[in-house]
């Protein structure tokens, strides 16, 4: 019987900071409970029932709040001083003597809660500074660790603390995460792009041009046929791309409130970007690296493009093209013929 390295053992083995490792272990423990609750579904009551609106104006579902409460409840004694959550308008101080700052999207992909599609939790761990603003509104490359849990056919945890990306899968029988890969790498070549195409009419020209090129297939500038995916669950798209490559785009668009896209820098884009870059992929706001960006507010949004490095670089290049060349009518962009 081969020994399966548990999350706890692996964190000890790799010399991760013991306080950070302890926090990750606590978050993993709550994730096991959230996974069990989701697996039971609406036996007790609808987890997707609308219960309010968060500061971002997003509808809050019952499971958003259950997950938020559960993760917050595990934090006392873990070394966390400041907590920022998608579901809380302001910052919560946990332990005044804590040395860590935790940003969390307790339940990502909320529109999928009641339709049995994969959803997740995203978290970002930083050093606690004297104030929440200094802690969270600093460049994303200051993160100490980041990860997500995906509650899907398997419950999995993907994690980085700056030494690559590790992949753990939950054994529902034991309630423990087991290490399946300690060096996850984003495959460089893939033929899938993920974007909510219903927003096509709202996109900028560079984004339209890139998507047009994907749709042009083998006869177009990208020289290959593409498939499209849109799960409306950032964690599920991220997991697919980490496992088999591709590109994800949630750009800015012309809809009111979407001038900076939909996804939040502090607790969605920054942690996903850390994972992507650590796995050899790239993550930008369409043009510039997410890891160099500092949020202007706790719930500030940013356009978000991530995935296989070459694809993300191409989208950034389209943003640099002269206006005339990014017209979708500008067929073969000789510049990029691969």
Ligand X SMILES: O=P(O)(O)OC[C@H]1O[C@](O)(COP(=O)(O)O)[C@@H](O)[C@@H]1O
Which residue numbers are catalytic? Answer: 58, 64, 86-87, 105, 107-108, 268
Say if residues 186 and 245 touch (Cβ distance below 8 Å). Answer: yes
Task: Kindly state the smallest distance separating residue 231's Cβ from ligand X, in Å.
Answer: 8
Q: Does the protein bind Mg ion through residue 105 (CB under 5 A)?
A: yes
Q: Does the protein bind ligand X through residue 58 (CB under 6 A)?
A: yes
Q: How many CB atoms lie within 10 A of CB 118?
A: 22
- Taking CB under 6 A as the criterion, the residue among 81, 239, 262, 293 binding ligand X is 262
Q: Does the protein bind ligand X through residue 109 (CB under 6 A)?
A: yes
196 is in an annotated binding site: yes
Q: Does the protein bind ligand X through residue 35 (CB under 6 A)?
A: no
- Pairing assessment for the beta strands 247-250 and 192-194 based on DSSP bridges: parallel
Q: Which residue number, 59 or 90, has a Cβ lying nearer to ligand X? A: 59
Q: Hey, which residues between 126 and 145 contact Mg ion (CB under 5 A)?
A: none
Contact code string over 179-198 relative to ligand X, x by CB under 6 A: -----------------x--
Q: Hey, which residues between 214 and 243 contact ligand X (CB under 6 A)?
A: 232-234
Residue 266, token pair as written in the block:
């502090």
Give the burial class of 232: count Cβ atoms within 10 A of its Cβ; 0-12 exposed, 13-18 middle, 19 or more buried.
middle
- Taking CB under 6 A as the criterion, the residue among 14, 92, 99, 111 binding ligand X is 111
Q: Does the protein bind ligand X through residue 108 (CB under 6 A)?
A: yes
Q: What angle do CA 77, 179, 32 make, to 5 degrees?
A: 50
268 is in an annotated binding site: yes
Q: Does the protein bind Mg ion through residue 68 (CB under 5 A)?
A: no
Q: Hey, which residues between 71 and 90 contact Mg ion (CB under 5 A)?
A: 86
The residue nearest Mg ion at its CB is: 108
Q: Does the protein bind ligand X through residue 208 (CB under 6 A)?
A: no
Q: Does the protein bind ligand X through residue 65 (CB under 6 A)?
A: no
**115 alpha carbon, distance to own chain's centre:** 21
Task: Kindly state the smallest distance separating residue 96's Cβ from ligand X, in Å.
Answer: 29
45 is in an annotated binding site: no
- Taking CB under 6 A as the criterion, the residue among 78, 110, 160, 284 binding ligand X is 110
109 is in an annotated binding site: yes
Q: Hey, which residues between 145 and 184 contact Mg ion (CB under 5 A)?
A: none
Q: Does the protein bind ligand X through residue 68 (CB under 6 A)?
A: no
Name the site residues for ligand X (rule: CB under 6 A): 58, 86, 105, 108-111, 196, 232-234, 262
Annotated binding site for substrate: 108-111, 196
Name the site residues for Mg ion (rule: CB under 5 A): 86, 105, 107-108
């Amino acid at each position: 019987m081969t020994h399966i390295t548990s999350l706890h053992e692996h964190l000890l083995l790799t010399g991760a900071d013991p306080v950070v490792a302890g926090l990750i272990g606590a978050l993993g423990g709550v994730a096991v409970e959230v996974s069990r609750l989701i697996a039971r579904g609406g036996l007790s009551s609808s987890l997707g029932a609308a219960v309010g609106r968060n500061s971002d104006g997003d509808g809050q579902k019952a499971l958003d709040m259950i997950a938020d409460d559960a993760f917050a409840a595990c934090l006392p004694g873990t070394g966390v001083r400041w907590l920022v959550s998608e579901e809380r308008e302001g910052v919560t101080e946990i332990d005044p003597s804590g040395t860590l700052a935790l940003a969390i999207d307790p339940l990502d992909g909320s529109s999928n809660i009641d339709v049995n599609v994969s959803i997740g939790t995203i978290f970002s761990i930083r050093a606690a500074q004297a104030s929440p603003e200094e802690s969270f509104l600093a460049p994303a490359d200051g993160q100490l660790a980041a990860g997500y849990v995906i509650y899907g056919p398997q419950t999995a945890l993907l994690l980085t603390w700056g030494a690559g990306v590790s992949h753990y899968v939950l054994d529902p029988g034991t309630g423990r995460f087991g290490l399946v890969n300690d060096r996850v790498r984003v495959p460089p070549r893939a033929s899938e792009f993920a974007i909510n195409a219903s927003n096509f009419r709202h996109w900028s020209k560079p984004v339209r041009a890139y998507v047009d090129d994907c749709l042009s297939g083998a006869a177009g500038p990208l020289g290959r046929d593409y498939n499209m995916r849109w799960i409306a669950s950032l964690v599920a798209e991220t997991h697919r791309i980490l496992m088999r490559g591709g590109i994800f785009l949630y750009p800015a668009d012309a809809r009111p409130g979407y001038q900076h896209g939909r996804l939040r820098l502090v607790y969605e884009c920054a942690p996903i970007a850390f994972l992507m870059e650590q796995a050899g992929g790239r993550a930008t706001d369409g043009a510039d690296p997410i890891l160099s960006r500092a949020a202007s507010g706790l719930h500030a949004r940013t356009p978000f493009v991530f995935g296989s490095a070459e694809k993300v670089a191409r989208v950034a290049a389209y943003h640099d093209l002269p206006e005339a060349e990014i017209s979708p009518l500008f067929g073969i962009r000789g510049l990029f013929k691969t």
